[in-house]
Chain A
Amino acid sequence: MNLLSLAYKNLQRRKLRSAFTIAGIALSAWVLVTLLGFNKGYEKSLNRDIDNMGFQIVLTAKGCPYEAATLMLKGGTGLRYMPEKLVEEVASAPEVAATTPMLMHAEFDPYKGENGGTVVYLGVDGETYPQMKAYFEFASGQWFSAPEAKEIVLGYEAAELEQREIGDMMLLPGSEEEFLVTGILKRTGTQDDGMIFMPLRTVQNVFNKQNLLTMLGIRLKQGIDSSAFEEKLYQLPDVQVVSMAQVKNTIISLVKSARVIVLSIAAIAFLIAVFGVLNTVLMSVFERYQEIGILKSIGALPKQIFAMIWIETILLCSGGCVAGIVFSYAFAGISEKLIRFFLPFAPNGELIFLSPDLILSAFAAITLTGMLGGILPALRAAHIRPLDAIRSEV
């Protein structure tokens, strides 16, 4: 037997109390690890979403940059337009490798969901768009047959939601015509999965937006300095230049403020749990006043009693922490759903990314705090005198 096994046996004495204390730590460790994992995963997924866009710069009509940012990734209302003739001007610049014009259109669909919802169409150019999105694969069918065809291509999730297959005719909200589903894309894990694609001309004609665009995607040639070119684009009248780096920063700064609040909540939960441990250990020290006095009389040095009580604290903290980490892994799926529900904008893919170094640092943080908190009860115990045991009448 040694101090460690003695400490372990001491914890077993009050199994229920130890279990509750461990559960408290586990719960807060779970919250902490999940939130830290979210910290990482969110940015990672966002980066991937942005890399998958196929273009580094998007030109939109002048407007609120936040609006433009969300619009690009999610689609939204209050769209602004720019003239189509801009395309030639931009495409002729020597830095540009390729451009693709897009027209986004949003319609309110009263039959969508319980209370209706917004349906977003993306008019794309059948020539240039597929080249930008070279990683798109069709589950079935193909891109449009002609620039003005009354055809649509559905993203994977859009097809699932609408329950459509190739060859189906669809009456789209906001139009009186039926459209033929010519293609369904495979899952990409990006926002494109939920998209309804139509030929650019068709969107312009059906929704009366002739010669207008909402966005122009620009891919630069290799080795071109993006920020220098952005400056150049700003010379154009009434346009807004949104670079992917910028979008990312905008979204991240939006999320960051929420993150601070959430992390403070986690920190508070964690502190409460540590106080729980402290309380438990302190209580058990008072309960064992006599016993500790007896240990002193049979030869325990103050530092050995200190070590014993400290080990008890550390065992509680690290035990709870391990349990919490196991929870984090086991319930990552549920936590992810919960976060998606509360978040204004969530990229596709894994939101919670649990890496070994994150787990390790969470473990270290919790155990170290526990160790710090454990000093007080351990000191109390170390100073109990053998006489206290013998004299007390309890």
Chain B
Amino acid sequence: MTDMITIKNLTKIYRRGSEEIRAVDNLSFSVRAGEIVSITGPSGSGKTTLVNILGCLDNPTGGELSLQGREIFKDGLTLSEKELTLIRRQYFGYVFQKFFLLPTLTVLENITLPFVFGAGTNTDQTYIRELMTLLGIDKRANHLPSELSGGEMQRVAIARALATKPQVLIADEPTGNLDSKRTAEIKSLLSELNKRQNLTIILVTHDPDFARIADTVLEISDGRILSQK
């Protein structure tokens, strides 16, 4: 398997006055294409900071990051906001703990929102339908988010993240707001998407169950890797 994302000596330092917080501390590893990486660790250990940088949503303070061999960050240098946007469009889909659906748009409109901004090549209607069926929200296409359950909203958010056929899905505690039954559903869904589309998934979770579907489990603490399985 080829490397999707490679990081080397990646560091993120937050400064609050004279205080320095090393949220990510000199990390190096690779994520291979089609791999599911699960990141766990205590609160404040730097999980969100790490995946935001991996997903090119945030800049590291130091170190390197390359995407399929292309250098994105190196020694504090980075690409322009526009170039980063184009890279995000091309490679990534994001799912967060909160769903961030637009309340005035229907389910289908929310899912196809990335196309409004020109992300993805064009709207592949059959693929969108397939995706919605797979996620069990095909009957909800014309509903507003306010008419959905939490689990359904998160599945819509996942569909939106995948609508443009990204190669990497970044999911930061996607089941944090869901009960155990919904969590199990999302888990098997992600596993299914990974197998079908060879989707690379980088997942932050507190749920040890997710470790079962992961190829690699990274446990981090204070910005460092505690264990890697």
A1 B109 Cβ-Cβ under 8 A? yes
Contacts of B48 in A (CB 8 A): 390
Select from chain A the residue with minimum beta-carbon distance to B160: A298
A13 B89 Cβ-Cβ under 8 A? no
User: Which of A3, A12, A294, A299 lies in contact with B104, CB distance below 8 A?
Assistant: A12
A301 B57 Cβ-Cβ under 8 A? no
Please report the total number of A residues contacting B with Cβ < 8 Å. Answer: 24
- A286-316 with Cβ < 8 A to chain B: 290-291, 294-302, 304
The answer for the CA separation of A295 and B48 in the assembled complex, in Å, is 19
B127 part of interface (Cβ distance < 8 Å) = no
- In the complex, what's the smallest C-beta–C-beta distance from A240 to chain B, in angstroms? 71
* A390/B104 contact (C-beta < 8 A), A295-B113, A297-B88, A298-B113 known: no
Among B58, B85, B114, B119, residue most surrounded by chain A Cβ atoms (within 10 Å): B85
Select from chain B the residue with minimum beta-carbon distance to A293: B100
User: Which of A2, A9, A290 lies in contact with B100, CB distance below 8 A?
Assistant: A290
User: Which of B94, B112, B164 lies in contact with A1, CB distance below 8 A?
Assistant: B112
User: Which of A6, A13, A304, A386 lies in contact with B103, CB distance below 8 A?
Assistant: A13
A1 B88 Cβ-Cβ under 8 A? no
B52 A291 Cβ-Cβ under 8 A? no
Please report the total number of B residues contacting A with Cβ < 8 Å. Answer: 30
B57 A298 Cβ-Cβ under 8 A? no
* A294/B117 contact (C-beta < 8 A), A1-B109, A387-B58 known: no
* A1/B116 contact (C-beta < 8 A), A298-B94, A300-B85, A302-B82 known: yes
Contacts of B21 in A (CB 8 A): none
- In the complex, what's the smallest C-beta–C-beta distance from A270 to chain B, in angstroms? 30
Select from chain B the residue with minimum beta-carbon distance to A302: B81
A295 B105 Cβ-Cβ under 8 A? no
- A154-182 with Cβ < 8 A to chain B: none
A369 part of interface (Cβ distance < 8 Å) = no
* A301/B103 contact (C-beta < 8 A), A1-B109, A295-B117, A390-B57 known: no
A299 B164 Cβ-Cβ under 8 A? yes
- B151-209 with Cβ < 8 A to chain A: 160-161, 164, 172
The answer for the CA separation of A1 and B85 in the assembled complex, in Å, is 21
Select from chain A the residue with minimum beta-carbon distance to B170: A297
Contacts of B112 in A (CB 8 A): 1
B160 A390 Cβ-Cβ under 8 A? no
- In the complex, what's the smallest C-beta–C-beta distance from B18 to chain A, in angstroms? 22
Contacts of A295 in B (CB 8 A): 113, 117
The answer for the CA separation of A13 and B81 in the assembled complex, in Å, is 29
The answer for the CA separation of A161 and B85 in the assembled complex, in Å, is 77
Interface string of A127-145 (1 = CB under 8 A from B): 0000000000000000000
- In the complex, what's the smallest C-beta–C-beta distance from A4 to chain B, in angstroms? 10
- In the complex, what's the smallest C-beta–C-beta distance from B101 to chain A, in angstroms? 9
B57 A297 Cβ-Cβ under 8 A? yes
Contacts of B172 in A (CB 8 A): 390
- In the complex, what's the smallest C-beta–C-beta distance from B115 to chain A, in angstroms? 8
Among A3, A297, A387, residue most surrounded by chain B Cβ atoms (within 10 Å): A297
A118 part of interface (Cβ distance < 8 Å) = no
Contacts of B118 in A (CB 8 A): 299, 301, 304
The answer for the CA separation of A179 and B216 in the assembled complex, in Å, is 115
B94 A297 Cβ-Cβ under 8 A? yes
- B26-53 with Cβ < 8 A to chain A: 48, 52
Select from chain A the residue with minimum beta-carbon distance to B102: A291
A299 B100 Cβ-Cβ under 8 A? no
* A299/B88 contact (C-beta < 8 A), A3-B116, A12-B104 known: yes
Contacts of A390 in B (CB 8 A): 48, 52, 57, 96, 172
Contacts of A297 in B (CB 8 A): 57, 88, 94
Contacts of A3 in B (CB 8 A): 116
Contacts of A304 in B (CB 8 A): 117-118
Select from chain A the residue with minimum beta-carbon distance to B108: A1
The answer for the CA separation of A304 and B86 in the assembled complex, in Å, is 13
Interface string of A1-25 (1 = CB under 8 A from B): 1110010011011000000000000
* A299/B85 contact (C-beta < 8 A), A1-B112, A9-B105, A389-B100 known: yes
Among A3, A10, A300, residue most surrounded by chain B Cβ atoms (within 10 Å): A300
Contacts of B58 in A (CB 8 A): 387
- In the complex, what's the smallest C-beta–C-beta distance from A214 to chain B, in angstroms? 72
**Which residues on B are within 8 Å of A, measured CB to CB?**
48, 52, 57-58, 81-82, 85, 88-89, 94, 96, 98, 100, 102-105, 109, 112-114, 116-120, 160-161, 164, 172
- For this complex, 11 residue pairs linking A to B, each with C-beta atoms less than 8 Å apart, are A13-B103, A13-B104, A291-B100, A294-B100, A295-B117, A299-B118, A300-B117, A301-B82, A387-B52, A387-B57, A387-B58
Which 9 residue pairs of A and B lie closest in terms of their CB atoms, listed nearest first? A299-B119, A299-B89, A300-B117, A294-B100, A9-B104, A298-B114, A299-B117, A299-B114, A386-B57
